Structure formats: C-alpha cells, structure tokens
C-alpha cells in the first residue's frame, strides 16, 4: 500500500477591503443578489457573481422548491445562465457569499459538491481555471486559484 498527500492552497483576505477592487465589486454584486434567493425551506441564502472574459457579470441566487431537490444553487444558476447567454465566453472569476436567516455565517461557505462538479465541467470545457472567492455573511474571504483546490480528484469526460 502507498499513501499520497494532497494539499490545497488558498489565499485568505481578512476583510473585503483587502481584495482587489474588481473582486470587491464582484463580491458586492454577489451579496446584493443573495438577497433575492428563494429559500423558504432552508432559510439559507446564497449569491454568486461570475466575471466573464468579455467583461460581463452574470448573477445567480439559490432557488428552492418544495419538491426537493428540484431547486438550484446560486452557483449553478449563474453558471448555466452564463452558458446559455454567453456560450463562447469563459468564466474568469466567481464570487460566492452565503447567509442564514436564523444565525450569522462568519466562516467562508464553499460551493456544495454538485456545484463543484458543475464548476469543474466549465473549467474543463474552457481549458482555463476559474478563480473562486467565497465567504459567509461576514468575516474572511477565501480565494482559490482553481476548482482543483476544492475538488482535487475532478471527474470529467476523459473518464467516460
């Protein structure tokens, strides 16, 4: 038997003001769209903002459904919208923020497994990493240079 060690590297911003101005703007848009989330069941609101290589910003918020799991996460709403409206554009950066209606989220909230797989598909499709910035409602912001930090054993079409 052999063992392998996998490490992930993240940058940590103690405040949003430490981030580059373009990322501050992207995160502010994610925070604003988070408020439009339809989350009557989980009371957990997520906002995502994508910066595309054509300069456009695409937004998404989570949308729940009583017939669980028919809803969609904010990240996938934004990604699928970008793919539909700007099919030839590449996703360069993504900002994600999450907040609970019942308590303060002070730790960075990463994308769920389903969203990680969807982001992975787009990184593979565009042959370019996506910078991912994520935070809770308040507190530090984590930056990953690629989804590979969050999903080191990515599943893609090469396995099919």
Tens of pLDDT, residue by residue over 23-63, are 999 999 999 999 999 999 999 999 999 999 999 999 999 99
pLDDT(87) > 90: yes
**Coil, strand or helix: which one is 27?**
helix
Strand order in the sheet with 141-144: 11-13, 141-144, 131-135, 91-100, 44-52, 57-61
In a domain, 160, yes or no: no
**CATH number where 126 lies:** 3.40.140.10
Closest by Cα among 82, 76, 79, 49 to 62 = 76
**How far, in Å, CA of 27 to CA of 16, rounded?**
8
> Among 75, 123, 131, 137, which one carries the catalytic annotation?
75
Do residues 89 and 116 touch, judged by C-beta distance below 8 A?
A: no
Structural domain total, the chain: 1
Separation between Cα atoms, residue 61 and residue 72, nearest integer Å: 8
Residue 113 located in a structural domain: yes
Burial of 105 (0-12, 13-18, 19+ CB in 10 A): middle
The answer as to whether 159 is a domain residue is: no
**Is 99 one of the annotated binding-site residues?**
no
With respect to residue 73, please indicate whether it lies within any of the assigned structural domains. yes
- Tell me if 78 is assigned to a ligand binding site: no
Query: Which single residue is written with the structure tokens 């730790």?
Result: 107
126 annotated among ligand-binding-site residues: no
Q: Does 75 qualify as catalytic in the annotation?
A: yes
Band of pLDDT at residue 68, cut at 50, 70 and 90: confident
The pLDDT assigned to 157 comes to 80
Range of the structural domain that residue 47 is part of? 11-150
- Is residue 156's pLDDT more than 90? no
pTM of full prediction above 0.75: yes
Per-residue pLDDT band for 158 (boundaries 50, 70, 90) equals: confident
Alpha-carbon span 121 to 145, nearest angstrom: 16
DSSP 3-state of 90: coil
Structural contact between residues 72 and 62, judged by C-beta atoms closer than 8 angstroms: yes
Is residue 158 a part of any domain in this protein? no
Assess if residue 2 is contained within a domain: no
For residue 48, being part of any structural domain is answered with yes
Q: Residue 65 domain-assigned?
A: yes
């Amino acid at each position: 038997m052999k063992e392998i060690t996998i490490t992930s590297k993240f940058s940590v911003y103690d405040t949003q003001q430490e981030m580059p101005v373009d990322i501050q703007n992207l995160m502010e848009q994610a925070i604003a769209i988070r408020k439009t989330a339809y989350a009557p069941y989980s009371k957990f609101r997520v906002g995502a903002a994508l910066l595309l290589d054509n300069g456009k910003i695409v937004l998404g918020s989570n949308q729940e459904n009583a017939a669980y799991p028919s809803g969609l996460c904010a990240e996938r709403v934004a990604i699928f919208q970008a793919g539909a409206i700007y099919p030839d554009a590449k996703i360069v950066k993504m900002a994600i923020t999450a907040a609970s209606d019942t308590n303060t989220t002070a730790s960075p909230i990463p994308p769920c497994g389903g969203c990680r797989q969807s982001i992975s598909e787009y990184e593979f499709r565009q042959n370019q990493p996506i910078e991912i910035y994520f935070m809770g409602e308040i507190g530090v912001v984590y930056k990953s240079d690629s989804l590979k930090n969050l999903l080191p054993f990515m599943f893609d079409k090469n396995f099919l």
